[in-house]
């Protein structure tokens, strides 16, 4: 397979595994602060990020590329407030979206149509992920000064 695309997909596998790690770290933060609904939401998010990494892993293998797993750096563990933690997730999703867009540009420039088509799934997925994180961030911001509001959101998130 195209060497530039292969390298970029391996870097994206790393970015998705880091997303998995960051989501777990946010889940641990919420668990430590007794917001179990938020923690539950982040654990499910972590599973989704793991699946995103594995989808690329499987695609590289299918195309005869070589998977190269890169070292994972430690994510942040502590945030100043629940809204800061959710904002970190939102900002990371925006970063991932920009990476996906760059990947689409690369695959298109390299005439790698199979990779371009595969990446369209990630483009749509990122729209959904950014929207979900954005809504949650703004809701948490709205109720931040009221423990009652925060607990209501926590209860709602436990049903995700
Ligand atoms: Fe897999 Fe949320 O980026």
Q: What percent of the chain has pLDDT over 70?
A: 100
Ligand 1 centre to CA of 56 (Å) is 12
User: Model pTM?
Assistant: 0.95
For residue 32, what are its two tokens?
């430590």
Nearest to 67 by CA among 53, 82, 47, 81: 53
Ligand 1 centre to CA of 61 (Å) is 20
Judge whether residue 88 has pLDDT over 80: yes
Nearest to 83 by CA among 17, 10, 153, 19: 153
Q: Is the dihedral of CA 118, 11, 106, 5 positive or negative?
A: negative
| Residue 160: predicted pLDDT | 77
| Residue 145: predicted pLDDT | 87
Q: Which residues line ligand 1 (CB under 6 A)?
A: 16, 19, 49, 52, 93, 96, 129
């Amino acid at each position: 397979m195209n060497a530039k695309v292969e390298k970029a997909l391996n870097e994206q596998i790393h970015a998705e595994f880091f997303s998995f790690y960051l989501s777990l770290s946010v889940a641990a933060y919420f668990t430590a602060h007794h917001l179990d609904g938020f923690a539950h939401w982040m654990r499910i998010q972590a599973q989704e990020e793991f699946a995103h990494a594995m989808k690329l892993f499987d695609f590289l293998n299918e195309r005869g590329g070589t998977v190269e797993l890169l070292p994972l750096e430690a994510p942040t563990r502590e945030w100043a407030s629940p809204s800061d933690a959710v904002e970190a997730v939102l900002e990371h999703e925006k970063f991932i979206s920009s990476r996906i867009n760059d990947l689409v540009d690369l695959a298109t420039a390299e005439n790698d149509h199979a990779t371009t088509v595969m990446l369209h799934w990630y483009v749509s997925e990122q729209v959904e992920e950014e929207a979900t994180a954005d809504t949650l961030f703004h809701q948490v911001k709205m109720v931040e000064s009221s423990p009652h509001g925060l607990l209501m959101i926590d209860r709602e998130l436990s049903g995700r």
